[in-house]
């Protein structure tokens, strides 16, 4: 069982190989199941990953400033909430509204191949 003694820091070849192997297996499994709605939704986020990343950071910053203006400094011990379950609720609540803008941008990106810099977003 010593081959499961992985360390992320300092970089370990075992850690790298295990994470890449699991990623490759998941990619192969999900590639066969493209028609499943959950996989199709994940493909939308994968179609414009940097756009989603920048958009969610902007929305989180705006939510933070709004919450800070209303309630003040951090109120709970875990990310400003009393229970980690609320972090998951916020996570799901943030992904759902950002799906439509990300889907729009992924379609726009796929349709406008003539704009060279768009492929980096």
Please check whether residues 23 and 67 belong to one and the same domain: no
Please check whether residues 69 and 111 belong to one and the same domain: yes
CA dihedral 12, 16, 18, 23 (to 10 degrees): 160
| pLDDT tens digits, one per residue of 19-70 | 899 999 998 888 888 778 888 888 888 889 999 999 999 998 998 888 888 8
| Contacts within 8 Å (CB) and 24+ apart, 40-46 | 41/99, 44/99, 44/102, 44/103, 44/106, 45/99, 45/102
Report how many domains make up the chain: 2
Please check whether residues 57 and 107 belong to one and the same domain: yes
Helices (H) then strands (E): counts for the chain: 4, 0
Please check whether residues 23 and 58 belong to one and the same domain: no
- The predicted pLDDT at position 46 comes to 87
Please check whether residues 106 and 62 belong to one and the same domain: yes
Please check whether residues 28 and 68 belong to one and the same domain: no
- The predicted pLDDT at position 3 comes to 61
* Full-model pTM: 0.71
Please check whether residues 48 and 95 belong to one and the same domain: yes
**Cβ atoms 102, 43 nearer than 8 A:** no
- Domain range for residue 17? 1-32
Q: For residue 51, how many other CB atoms are within 10 A of its CB?
A: 20
Please check whether residues 21 and 79 belong to one and the same domain: no
Please check whether residues 63 and 25 belong to one and the same domain: no
């Amino acid at each position: 069982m010593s081959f499961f003694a992985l360390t992320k820091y300092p970089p370990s070849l075992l850690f790298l190989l295990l994470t890449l192997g699991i990623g490759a297996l998941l990619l192969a499994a999900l590639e066969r199941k493209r028609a499943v709605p959950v996989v199709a939704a994940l493909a939308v986020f994968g179609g414009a990953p940097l756009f989603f990343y920048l958009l969610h950071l902007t929305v989180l910053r705006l939510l933070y400033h709004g919450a800070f203006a209303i309630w003040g400094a951090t109120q709970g011990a875990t990310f400003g909430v009393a229970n980690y379950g609320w972090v998951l609720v916020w996570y799901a609540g943030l992904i759902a509204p950002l799906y439509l803008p990300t889907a729009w941008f992924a379609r726009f990106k796929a349709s406008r191949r003539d704009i060279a810099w768009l492929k980096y977003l």
